[in-house]
Every structure is written in C-alpha cells, then in structure tokens.
C-alpha cells in the first residue's frame, strides 16, 4: 500500500514515503514548515546535520567560498584541496592504521561513492598482491548506499529486488560474529568492510570485543579492515570515529554525511597511504570530488571537531539520552534501547503500533524522527542540541508512548 503521500505534483518518482511535513526554513535543532509550525529535529539528516541546521561557522565558510571559486574540476588544482586533505588526515589520521603520518585521503561526494572508492582501492591493492578474484567480507543487515554494487551485498530485499545481475565478490556473515568472519577468510579475501555500529539496521552496537577481534583477524590474514563511518563518524558516538570507542584503527575509513556540514555532499576515504596509493592518474576520479566549496565546508567541519568539545558534548548528552531511554524501558514504554553517544535505536512495543505510527504521533507533537524497520526508531539529534531541547523531545516521546497507539 502506498503511504498517504503528502500532496505533490506527481512528478517525483515514488522512491520515498516522507512524513507529511513540508519544511521551509531551519535553524540549529529546529525546522519550520510552510505553515509556520516548528519541529525539533531528532533525526538530523541521518547524521548529515551533526552540527545542526545552518551552523554559523559552516554557513560563513560556504558564503566566503561562493565569492571566491566554487568548482575547478580535478583537471586543475585549487588552494583548498591540499589544506582540506591535510586537515582531515590530521583529524582522522591518528585513528587509522599507520597513524597521521602514513595517511592520505580521496575526496568524493556521496557516502555511496566513497564506499565504492574503498572497495575499488581494496580490490586494486589485492590485485597488486596477485589476488585476481578478490572477495570482501561484509555483514548481514549492512547499509552502505544504493549503487548497483553496494546493493549487490545488501541483505534487505527491498534494496535489492529487481536490480540484478549483481556484482560478485562479497561474502556475507552475521554482524558481530568474529568466528564467522574468521571462517569466511581465505586466500581470495582482500578486506572486511563493515559499519562499526549498524545505523540503518537500527543502531546495532556490537559487543566491545568484536572490532578488536576484526583488527586481529585482518592483521593475521594480512587483509584490510575497512570501517564505513559515513553515519557513525565525526562525533556522533562521543568520539571522532566510532572505532575510537574500542581503540581500533582500521586501514581505511569511509566518511560522508556530516563531512558536508549539512550544506553540500562531501565524502572521503581516509587511510593507509600504501593502500590509497594504488590509485594513479586516470584510474579513479570524480568531477565534483574535492571541489572548492566542498573543501571550504569540509575544512570548517574539521575545525569544529578539532578541539574535541563536540565529541565530549555528544558523549555527555549521550549519557543523558541513554539514561532517559533506559527509564522508558523500565517503565515498559519501550521494549529495548541501544546506542552510543548521541545516537540511539529504540524498539517500540509492536502492540503500540509501528515505528512509522510513533513518528507520525511525534510529528503531531512537533518532533521529527524516523523509523527504520518495523517497530524501531532511530534518534540522532544534532550534536549541538541544548539539553533543554533534548529533554523536550524526550518528553514528547514519553507522552506519545504513554498514550494508546
């Protein structure tokens, strides 16, 4: 059944079923619809808006750059490309294998393109070591984006059906199961690619030993560990990367979403220079990747994260968020809660209704949130949210759940 779609012109392909709110303006943690109603944004663009809407420092950086130069293509270089690469490797380099001194980056635009870039790098790195039919180990219930190759190893029927033939070379194992990863590794394996915490799947946090085990397995096998931190990275979990939670340094890290500050799509792969160094002129690229406007915003994003204050804030507010959600479980208003930092997956009692129905009820109370699967909701407020606003949103959630569904 098609969801009750907001009235439209019918010119949009129906690949989304948005909640019925038409946003006209936004500021910080709040958006305003075309009728002037205000809503607290507890989704934050799936972490693309980690710094809230129109963060003044990011908007200023974009405005300044609009008056200078916005696009050159990589046929030429421009004066922010190296500074952005330097800054991003400065921020994330210490969290990747080899450390900041040994890291480099590839600028792209969307998350999916950056994951594709990591896959291409891993395959080409494998080829340079004589592996001609490489395999990459991935997790069940993964989400890495929507390209044909990425949906080839999705385990979500909706994401895959009708899109074959699929790209071969991927082995799917249960998420969080290190023994299954070990069993899947053979001489064809070039990499393990996973989200540190699975976002779309409902904020699934693995046991603390899982990522350290992955690191050890990859070291033993001499293969690459690739973390898709498109949603989990850049402060969301209370650390710069989610992998920092476990002191695990992947060989490649994929970034996106928040890297563009909610202004422009900016993504990147950051990692070992001996791996990303497999790319030579003409072997990979992007018209828009690393464009001046993207670099200006990306530099300002890195700057916002450079002091660690926002990560600290995500951690502190995250403890508050998780404590309040735990209370809702104790009150039996929620079935389960998972999370890290300012990021939570909550399971509603299916007897109350679907996740979508909860989101509609929240919308009526002026709160934006999004369901993932069935009766699961994902909460990912801006890292800049005030504790008062966060409490307001959680009060609305509590009231919704205390009502009859």
Ligand X SMILES: *Cc1c(COP(=O)(O)O)cnc(C)c1O
Which sequence positions are flagged as catalytic? 143, 228, 257
Q: Would you count residue 250 as binding ligand X (CB under 6 A)?
A: no
Q: Would you count residue 339 as binding ligand X (CB under 6 A)?
A: no
Q: Would you count residue 256 as binding ligand X (CB under 6 A)?
A: yes
Minimum Å gap between C-beta 38 and ligand X is: 26
**CA 258, CA 310: separation in Å to the nearest integer?**
13
From 94-102, 118-126, 227-235, 307-315, span contacting ligand X (CB under 6 A): 227-235
From 33-41, 224-232, 358-366, 381-389, span contacting ligand X (CB under 6 A): 224-232
Query: Which neighbouring-strand residues pair with 228?
Result: 254
Over the range 302-314, which residues count as b (16 or more CB within 10 Å of their CB) and which as e? bebbeeeebbebb
From 10-18, 116-124, 138-146, 300-308, span contacting ligand X (CB under 6 A): 138-146
Nearer to ligand X, 28 or 199 (CB): 199
Single out the residue of 126, 199, 290, 298 in contact with ligand X (rule: CB under 6 A): 199
Single out the residue of 50, 110, 240, 322 in contact with ligand X (rule: CB under 6 A): 110
Window 149 to 178, contacts with ligand X (CB under 6 A): none
Q: Would you count residue 84 as binding ligand X (CB under 6 A)?
A: no
Look at the block and give the residue holding tokens 């407020």: 381
- Binding residue count for ligand X, defined by CB under 6 A: 15
Handedness of CA 74, 78, 80, 84 (dihedral sign): positive
CB 171 within 8 A of CB 184: yes
**CA 164, CA 147: separation in Å to the nearest integer?**
11
Single out the residue of 143, 170, 211, 352 in contact with ligand X (rule: CB under 6 A): 143
**CA 232, CA 148: separation in Å to the nearest integer?**
23
**Helix H segments across 40-196?**
56-66, 81-92, 111-128, 148-152, 157-160, 178-184
Over the range 209-224, which residues count as b (16 or more CB within 10 Å of their CB) and which as e? ebbebbbebbeebebb
CB 214 within 8 A of CB 178: yes
Nearer to ligand X, 314 or 361 (CB): 314
Return the DSSP state at 167.
P
Nearer to ligand X, 150 or 185 (CB): 150
Q: Would you count residue 260 as binding ligand X (CB under 6 A)?
A: no
Residue 25, SS3 per DSSP: strand
From 13-21, 141-149, 160-168, 377-385, span contacting ligand X (CB under 6 A): 141-149
Q: Which residues form the interface with ligand X (CB under 6 A)?
A: 46, 110-112, 115, 143-145, 195, 199, 228, 230-231, 256-257
């Amino acid at each position: 059944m098609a969801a009750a779609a907001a009235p439209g012109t019918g010119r949009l392909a129906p690949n989304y079923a948005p909640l019925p709110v038409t946003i006209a303006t936004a500021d910080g943690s709040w958006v305003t619809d075309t009728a002037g109603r205000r809503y607290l944004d507890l989704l934050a663009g799936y972490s693309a808006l980690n710094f809230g809407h129109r963060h003044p420092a990011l908007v200023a950086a974009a405005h300044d750059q609009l008056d200078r130069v916005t696009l050159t293509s990589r046929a030429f270089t421009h004066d922010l490309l190296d500074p952005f690469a330097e800054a991003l490797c400065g921020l994330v380099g210490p969290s990747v294998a080899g450390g900041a001194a040994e890291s480099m980056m590839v600028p792209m635009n969307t998350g999916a393109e950056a994951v594709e870039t990591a896959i291409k790098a891993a395959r080409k790195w494998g080829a340079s070591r004589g592996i001609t039919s490489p395999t990459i180990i991935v997790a069940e219930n993964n989400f890495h984006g929507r390209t044909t190759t990425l949906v080839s190893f999705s385990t979500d029927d909706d994401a895959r059906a009708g899109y074959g033939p699929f790209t071969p070379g991927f082995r799917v194992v249960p998420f969080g199961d290190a023994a299954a990863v070990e069993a899947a590794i053979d001489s064809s394996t070039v990499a393990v690619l996973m989200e540190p915490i699975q976002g779309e799947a409902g904020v699934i946090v693995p046991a603390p030993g899982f990522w350290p085990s992955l690191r050890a397995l990859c070291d033993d096998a001499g293969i690459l560990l690739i973390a898709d931190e498109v949603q989990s990275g850049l402060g969301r979990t209370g650390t710069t990367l989610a992998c920092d939670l476990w002191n695990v340094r992947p060989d490649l890290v994929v970034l996106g979403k928040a890297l563009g500050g909610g202004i422009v799509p900016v993504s990147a792969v950051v990692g070992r220079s001996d791996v990303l160094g497999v790319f030579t002129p003409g072997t990979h690229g992007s018209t828009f990747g690393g464009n001046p406007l993207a670099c200006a915003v990306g530099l300002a994003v890195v700057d916002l994260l450079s002091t660690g204050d926002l990560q600290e804030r995500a951690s502190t507010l995250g403890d508050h968020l998780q404590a309040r959600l735990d209370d809702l479980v104790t009150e039996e208003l929620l079935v389960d809660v998972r999370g890290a930092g300012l990021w939570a997956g909550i399971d509603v009692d299916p007897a109350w209704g679907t996740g979508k129905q909860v989101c509609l009820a929240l919308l009526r109370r002026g709160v934006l949130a999004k369901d993932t699967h069935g009766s699961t909701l994902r909460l990912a407020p801006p890292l800049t949210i005030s504790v008062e606003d966060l409490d307001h949103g959680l009060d609305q959630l509590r009231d919704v759940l205390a009502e009859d569904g």
